[in-house]
Structure 1
Amino acid sequence: MSNPELLQITQNLKKVFYSNKTRKLDWRFSQLKALKKLITENKDEITAAVKKDLGKHEFEIHQSEIVLIQTECEEAISHLESWNKSEKVYTPIHCKPASSYILREPLGVVLIMSPWNYPVNLALTPLIGAIAGGNCALLKLSRHSRNVGELLYKLLNQYMDVECFSFDWEGGREYISDLLTFKWDHIFFTGSVDVGRIVYQAAAKFLTPVTLELGGKNPCIVDKDVDIKLAAKRIMWGKCWNAGQTCIGLDYLLVHKSILDPFIEECKLVLKEFYGDDIKQSNSYARIISKDAVNRLQKLLAMGKVVVGGDVDVETRYISPTIIIEPDLESKLMKDEIFGPVLPIVTWENVDEVIQFIRERPHALTLYLFSKDQNIQDKILENTQSGSVMLNDVLLHFTNSHLPFGGVGDSGIGSYHGKLTYDTFTHPRALMQSTTKKFLDLPLRYPPYTPFANNIAGKFLSSGW
Structure 2
Amino acid sequence: MSVVYPHHQVSEANLGDVVEALRQTFFEGVTLPPSFRLAQLKSLRKMFIDNKSRLIEAVQKDLGKQVEFEVLASEINLPLNELDETIKNLDKWLSPQSVSTPISIHPASSELYAEPKGTVLIMSPWNYPINLAIVPLIGAIAGGNTVLLKLSRHSINTSLTLHDLLPRYLDGRAYAIESTGGASLITKLISYKWDHIFFTGSCSVGKLVYQAAALHMTTVTLELGGKNPCIVDSNIDLDLTARRIAWGKFFNCGQTCIGVDYVLAHESIVPSLVEKLREHIENFYGSDAKTSKSYCRIISKDHAVRLSKLFDDGKVVYGGTADPEERYVAPTIILEPRENSLLLTDEIFGPVLPIVSVKNIDEAILSLRDKPLPLALYVFSKSSATAERVINNTRSGAAVHNDVIVQFLNPKLPFGGVGESGLGAYHGKQTFETFVHRKPVIKSTKYNSLDIKLRYPPYNDKSTWVVDKVTRSGL
Normalising TM by the smaller chain, what interval? over 0.9
Where does 1:285-364 land on structure 2 (aligned, <5 Å)? 285-364=295-374
Which position in structure 2 is the counterpart of 1:389?
Answer: 399
Q: Select between 13-22 and 363-372 the one with higher mean Cα deviation.
A: 13-22
Q: Secondary structure at the match of 2:454?
A: helix
Give the number of equivalent residue pairs: 464
Contact preservation (8 Å) 2:59, 2:157: yes
Give the secondary structure class of the aligned counterpart of 2:389: helix
Structure 2 residue 23 is matched with structure 1 residue 8: no
Give per-residue Cα distances to partners, 1:156-202, cap 9 Å, x unaligned. Answer: 11111111010000111010001011110000000000000000000
1:189 aligned partner: 199
Distance 1:378 1:50 in 2: 38
TM-align CA RMSD:
1.1
Specify the code of the residue in structure 1 equivalent to 2:22. Answer: L
Match of 1:167? 177
Provide, for residues 288-322 of structure 1, a one-character-per-residue CA deviation record: whole Å limited to 9, x for no partner: 00011011111111111100000100110000000
Counterpart residue type for residue 288 of structure 1: I
Distance 1:428 1:392 in 2: 37
1:172 partner letter? G
Q: Which runs of 5+ in 1 are unaligned?
A: none
Q: Secondary structure at the match of 1:306?
A: strand
Q: Distance in 2 between matches of 1:437 and 1:63?
A: 56
| Percent of aligned pairs sharing the same letter | 51
Select the residue among 257, 272, 286 that pairs with 1:262: 272
Kindly indicate whether the alpha-carbon contact (under 8 Å) linking 2:107 and 2:446 is maintained by their aligned counterparts in 1. no
**Paired residue for 1:43?**
52
Whether 2:180 is the aligned partner of 1:133: answer no
Residue type at the aligned position of 1:359: R
User: In the alignment, residue 33 of structure 1 is paired with which amino acid?
Assistant: K
SS in 2 for 1:21: coil
Give the conservation status (yes or no) of the 8 Å contact 2:379–2:401.
yes
Q: Does 1:379 align with 2:389?
A: yes
In 2, the alpha carbon distance for the partners of 1:99 and 1:264 equals 62
What residue number does 1:216 align with?
A: 226
Indicate whether 1:34 and 2:38 are aligned: no
Distance 1:464 1:268 in 2: 62
Bigger shift: residues 190-199 or 224-233: 224-233
Is residue 2:430 matched to residue 1:404?
no
Does residue 246 of structure 1 match 2:240? Answer: no
Q: Which amino acid aligns with 1:312?
A: A
TM-score (norm 1): 0.98
Question: Structure 1 residue 3: deviation in Å?
Answer: 4.8
Asked if 1:67 corresponds to 2:61, the answer is no
Partner of 2:398, secondary structure, is: strand
1:4 CA displacement: 5.1
After alignment, is 141-150 or 343-352 more displaced? 343-352
Contact 2:107 2:447 in 1 (8 A): no
Unaligned stretches of 5+ residues in structure 2: 1-10
Partner secondary structure for residue 102 of structure 1: strand
Q: Deviations over 1:311-367 (max 9, x none)?
A: 100110000000000101112111000000000000112211011111121111000
Which range moves more in the overlay, 8-17 or 428-437? 428-437
> Shift in Å at residue 432 of structure 1?
0.6
Q: Give the letter for the 2:233 counterpart.
A: D
Instruction: Give the aligned residue type for 2:361.
Output: V
CA 1:437–1:342: 2 relative to 1, 3 Å: closer
Q: What is the rounded CA distance, in whole Å, between the counterparts of 1:102 and 1:360 in structure 2? A: 40
- TM-score computed with the length of structure 2 as normaliser: 0.96
The structure 1 segments of at least 4 consecutive aligned residues displaced by more than 4 Å after TM superposition are none
Structure 1 SS opposite 2:378:
strand
One-letter amino acid of the structure 2 residue matched with residue 99 of structure 1: S
Whether 1:177 and 2:187 are equivalent positions in the alignment is yes
1:79 aligns with 2:89: yes
Matches of 2:41 and 2:120, distance apart in 1:
17
1:258 partner SS: coil
Task: Please state how far the C-alpha of 1:140 moved relative to its aligned partner.
Answer: 0.2
Once the two structures are overlaid, the 10-residue window that deviates more, 122-131 or 96-105, is 96-105
Q: Distance in 2 between matches of 1:437 and 1:398?
A: 49
Q: Distance in 1 between matches of 2:322 and 2:389?
A: 39
Does 2:282 align with 1:272?
yes
Kindly state the Cα deviation for residue 131 of structure 1 after the two structures are TM-superposed.
0.6
Q: 2:129 aligns with which of 113, 119, 142?
A: 119
Aligned residue number for residue 367 of structure 1: 377
Provide, for residues 384-403 of structure 1, a one-character-per-residue CA deviation record: whole Å limited to 9, x for no partner: 00000111111111011001
What residue in structure 2 maps to residue 95 of structure 1?
105
Please state if 1:107 is matched with 2:125.
no
Instruction: Tell me how far apart the structure 2 counterparts of residues 284 and 315 of structure 1 sit (CA, whole Å).
Output: 19
CA positional deviation for 1:454: 1.7
Letter in 2 for 1:32: L
Shift of the alpha carbon at 1:88?
Answer: 1.7
1:452 is displaced (CA, Å) by 2.1
The CA deviation at 1:80 is 0.3
Indicate if the aligned counterparts of 2:237 and 2:382 stay in contact, CA closer than 8 A: no
Which piece of structure 1 moves more, 269-278 or 362-371? Answer: 269-278
The more displaced of 5-14 and 213-222 is 5-14
Equivalent residue for 2:5?
A: none
Q: 1:398-425: CA deviations, max 9, x gaps?
A: 0110011000111000110000000000
The secondary structure found in structure 2 opposite 1:384 is coil
